[in-house]
């Protein structure tokens, strides 16, 4: 396991910012379709994802990851896909699931849990690519 460099922590923090913004875009694009509870849940998750990104920067010198380059590349890849397509999702549940999975990944990173990080990355790919819209 290696510590994240400041550049890697910046990249990861940016990814979480963009993911939080994508969740917000999804929320606003589907405002009429979301129940009050779903809207509130997405708002709270979006705020928590933003906090994860900020905390990643704050703790960058102590965060560790197995296979840092590969993990960061996977996160960057799925961030691009989610940012580019989440507004057009037909499934509210898939949007909620993606938001929750992103938050779980952020928590795993902040807990410095290499196994949790790896599993969360896999789960996010599964939620995003493996479940039907």
* Residue 124, pLDDT above cutoff 90: yes
* Residue 72, pLDDT above cutoff 50: yes
* Residue 131, pLDDT above cutoff 80: no
pLDDT of residue 16: 94
Q: CA distances (Å), 62 to each of 6, 40, 46, in order?
A: 10, 33, 24
* Residue 67, pLDDT above cutoff 70: no
For residues 128 and 97, what is the distance between their CA atoms, to the nearest angstrom?
9
Report domain extents, the chain. Answer: 2-130
Q: Which residues pair with 2 in a beta bridge?
A: 65
- Token reading at 80: 């691009």
pLDDT digits (tens, 9 = 90+) for 78-119: 999 999 999 889 999 999 999 999 999 999 988 888 889 889
* Residue 70, pLDDT above cutoff 90: no
- Token reading at 127: 């939620």
Q: Rounded to the nearest 5 degrees, what angle is found at the Cα of 22, between the Cα atoms of 108 and 10? A: 55
pTM of the model: 0.82
For residues 20 and 92, what is the distance between their CA atoms, to the nearest angstrom?
16
Q: Is residue 9 within 8 Å of residue 60, measured between CB atoms?
A: yes
pLDDT digits (tens, 9 = 90+) for 27-64: 999 999 999 999 999 999 999 999 999 888 777 666 66
């Amino acid at each position: 396991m290696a510590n994240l460099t400041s550049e890697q922590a910046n990249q990861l923090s940016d990814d979480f910012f963009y993911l939080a913004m994508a969740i917000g875009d999804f929320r606003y694009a589907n405002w009429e379709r979301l129940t009050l509870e779903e809207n509130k849940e997405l708002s709270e998750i979006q705020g928590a994802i933003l906090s994860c990104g900020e905390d990643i920067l704050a703790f960058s010198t102590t965060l560790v990851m197995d296979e840092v380059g590969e993990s960061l590349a996977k996160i960057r890849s799925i961030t691009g896909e989610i940012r580019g397509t989440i507004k057009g999702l037909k499934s509210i549940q898939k949007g909620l699931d993606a938001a929750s999975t992103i938050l779980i990944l952020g928590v795993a990173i902040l807990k410095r849990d290499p196994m949790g990080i790896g599993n969360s990355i896999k789960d996010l790919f599964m939620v995003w690519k493996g479940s039907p819209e």
